[in-house]
Amino acid sequence: MKRFALIGLVLVAGITARTEPEAASAPGGPFDENTAIELTAGLTQYENPPSLAGKVTSVGGGTSAILVNRWAAEFAQIYPGLQLDLHGGGSVSGLDGLVAGTVDLVPLNRPLPAADIARFKAKFGYEPTVIVVAQDAAAVYVNLHNPLAGLTLAQLDAIYSRDARRGGGRPEFWHELGVTGPLAQAQISRVVLSRVHSEHLDFQQVVMRGAEYQFHLRTEVVPSSLVQAVGADDAAVGFASMMFATARTRFVPLQAADGTYVLPTYENIVSGKYPLIRPVRVVFNRKPDGTMNPAAREFLRFAVSRRGQRIISLAGTFPITVDQQQEALRLVGEAPPAAGR
């Protein structure tokens, strides 16, 4: 029996970068078919699928698990006899299962911690394999009616941090961040994801330089509810994957290393210019001789193929580059001769 959940979401594409901080427009929604075809045209296709049986188990973070479910919907059409056991659950649980040998794939939106690499190696004698399967970034969301022009990382740190280690002060009202008009005297309403999400820790380390969060925060349990909360409150601000944009919210341009203010567009993410890039990765167990679960191997080959990347592009997620695909296919590899097909 095939087992997987399909999760629907609204995604964002196509907001242009700016060299000066000015208000970003509302997100435009998923890619059209022509854009998806153009961005994935250089990727190799998934062809000549082998005969497969067995099971693929995936446990990972909520945002990355959404993409796995999208791929699973079509992968199941190619391999109707294959069991797909897919869970959100969080990457911590997934990595525990990977070490225990009960999980094949762990999708996540953060670098694999050194401690997890070490315990995997202590168990198996070699390191886990990690590939990039999609582009993502942490977007800073405000209500569509908020005219905030842009933020530096120091200002973003100051909004959320107790210590403001970047020197951005201690803003409490929107006028302190340059907002004018009816919202200027409103108190900043800070929204954050719960600690179980990797975005919570990554933001703390990258933006806040390890400082503690402010006491007065509104906590949401999933990214979609965070973005909905921002969309319902003119004075709110929050951060989450760019995948969850809605018509009631917009992205805040962030200051890049060169001083310009940029949005999480495809170009700014691929070039590394946007400061809060979070590629979607998958961690898996591939032995030094190339042996791994053959069904998991084919799932990954499908995911990074032109067909797999077009699926997520049409939903609005940014696809990987040709170089990223080639590296992923190299690391996934072909089935070793001893495995047979």
Q: What Å distances lie between residue 210 and 57, 137, 166, 204, 213, CA to CA?
A: 34, 20, 11, 5, 9
* 5 vs 89: CA distance, rounded Å: 13
Domain boundaries, the chain: 33-136+279-332, 138-270
* 250 vs 140: CA distance, rounded Å: 8
pLDDT at 27 over 70: no
State the pLDDT at residue 48. 85
23: confidence class by pLDDT, cuts 50, 70, 90: very low
Identify the weakest region by mean pLDDT among 47-51, 107-111, 336-340. Answer: 336-340
Enter the CATH code of domain 33-136+279-332. 3.40.190.10
Residues 140, 146, 148, 149, CA torsion sign: positive
Round the average pLDDT of the chain to a whole number and report it: 88
pLDDT mean over 7-23: 33
Q: What is the DSSP string of 161-174?
A: BSS-TTS-----BG
Q: CA neighbours within 13 Å on the CB side: how many for 123?
A: 17
State the pLDDT at residue 298. 97
Cβ atoms 124, 117 nearer than 8 A: no
State the pLDDT at residue 31. 67
pLDDT at 215 over 60: yes
State the pLDDT at residue 78. 95
Note the helical H segments in the chain.
Answer: 33-40, 62-78, 91-100, 114-124, 153-160, 198-206, 223-231, 266-270, 294-303, 306-314, 322-332
Cβ atoms 191, 238 nearer than 8 A: yes
Q: What whole-number percentage of the chain has pLDDT above 70?
A: 89
Question: Backbone phi, then psi, for 166, in 5-degree steps?
Answer: -90, -5
Enter the CATH code of domain 138-270. 3.40.190.10
237: confidence class by pLDDT, cuts 50, 70, 90: very high
pLDDT mean over 295-311: 97
Q: What Å distances lie between residue 336 and 45, 144, 291, 340, CA to CA?
A: 21, 53, 6, 7
State the pLDDT at residue 337. 59
**Vertex 65: Cα angle to 60 and 66 (nearest 5):** 165
Q: What Å distances lie between residue 280 and 62, 112, 233, 272, 321, CA to CA?
A: 11, 11, 29, 14, 13
Domains 33-136+279-332 and 138-270 belong to one CATH topology: yes
SS3 of 61, please? coil
